[in-house]
Amino acid sequence: MRGIITCWAAVIRTKLAEQMAYRSHFALSVLLLIVGDLVAPLVTLLVYRAGASFPGWSLHEALLVQAVFVLAKGVAFPFFFGMVGTTLSQVREGTFDLLLLRPRPVMFMSMLGGFDPEDFGRLLSGAVLFGYALSGIVAPDWQSWLQFSLLFIASITILCSVSLFLSGILFRWVGSSRVFDIFDAVTSFGMYPGTIFSKAMQNILTYVLPIGLIAFVPASALLGKSGWGSLWALASAALLLLLGILFWNRMLRNYTSAGG
């Protein structure tokens, strides 16, 4: 454990130093992530301003779902999601071999290499949006906060699993940056209250592709709209993580390096 923390600390220091070499670029990239994450809430705001709404959801409640989504990305992206980008470039260039030679588990090294401090910008936009959304709803009690905290861990676990699946795919689908578009498209379901989807779609988003567990279920817990029963999401997230690890390791065997 101490070794893992030492590794993370070293990588964080190095990546921050690297970013400081191009400070304006770093600042703009963080700004971009903040602005980018606020696009969906902006659209929601504009639509509510026009007099429309998601049935049964006030503006602040709808924004809370989106805030939780951005917050989860703010934690998961800097630590886990970068591995998708590094796998993409390293497999294409043949430099992934270097990770195989290091005296640490390959998956861990891939996550370390993908650490991206820019993504902490999402945490800022998520926190601002979260605060704004909370200001317009009845203050949640401690039980709701506890449920939310546990479900938020499930949410991050699911995003970690998704990054393992996407990264794993790239061992076979070499160099395809479209995995990011696929991620954005599929997870866009998770940015809106689950009740707007048809029953069949709700079931798919809960049990097949658990996108709904990323933001809708934790936000519902905070709003007091779901009971303790929703904590089954923790088991679901753990199972998905296990599948993600198995999938990634299985796909790693397909890595042929530059020599074929």
Partner 1 sequence: MKRQLALIRAIGFVTYKEWAAFRSHMLASLLVGPVLFLVQVFIWQAMFEGKETINGLTLPQMLTYYGVATIIHYITFDFADWNLQMLVRSGKFVTFALRPLPHWVFALSQKLGHRSLALWVEVLPVALLFIFLFNVNLIPAAPGLAMVSIALSFLMSFFINYAVGLSAFWLVRAEGVRRVFLLLKDVSAGVFIPLTFFPEILQKILFFLPFQFITYLPTRVYIGEYELAGIRLTLVEAVGLQALAVAVTGCLTLLLYRAALKRFTGVGV
For residues 148 and 161, give the distance between their C-alpha atoms in angstroms, rounded to a whole number: 20
CB of residue 132 vs partner 1: minimum separation in angstroms? 18
Answer for which of 47, 127, 234, 241 binds partner 1 (CB under 8 A) is 47
CA torsion angle for 247, 75, 134, 230 (degrees, to 10)? 30
Answer for which of 1, 3, 17, 55 binds partner 1 (CB under 8 A) is 55
36 is a site residue for partner 1 (CB under 8 A)? yes
242 is a site residue for partner 1 (CB under 8 A)? no
CB of residue 41 vs partner 1: minimum separation in angstroms? 11
CB of residue 39 vs partner 1: minimum separation in angstroms? 6
Per-residue burial over 164-201, b if 16 or more Cβ lie within 10 Å, else e, is bbbbbbbbeeeeeeebeeebeeebebbbbbbeebeeee
54 is a site residue for partner 1 (CB under 8 A)? yes
Answer for which of 9, 10, 20, 32 binds partner 1 (CB under 8 A) is 32
For residues 45 and 55, give the distance between their C-alpha atoms in angstroms, rounded to a whole number: 15
Please identify, using beta-carbon distances, which residue of 202 and 249 lies nearer to partner 1: 202
20 is a site residue for partner 1 (CB under 8 A)? no
Enter the tokens of residue 120.
Answer: 């902490």
Please identify, using beta-carbon distances, which residue of 39 and 100 lies nearer to partner 1: 39
In the Cβ-directed half-sphere of 18, how many Cα atoms lie within 13 Å? 11
181 is a site residue for partner 1 (CB under 8 A)? yes
For residues 89 and 171, give the distance between their C-alpha atoms in angstroms, rounded to a whole number: 11
Q: What are φ and ψ of residue 242, in 5° steps?
A: -60, -45
Q: What is the binding site for partner 1 (CB under 8 A)?
A: 22, 24-29, 31-32, 35-36, 39-40, 42-43, 46-47, 49-55, 173, 176-178, 181-182, 184-186, 188-189, 192, 196-198, 201
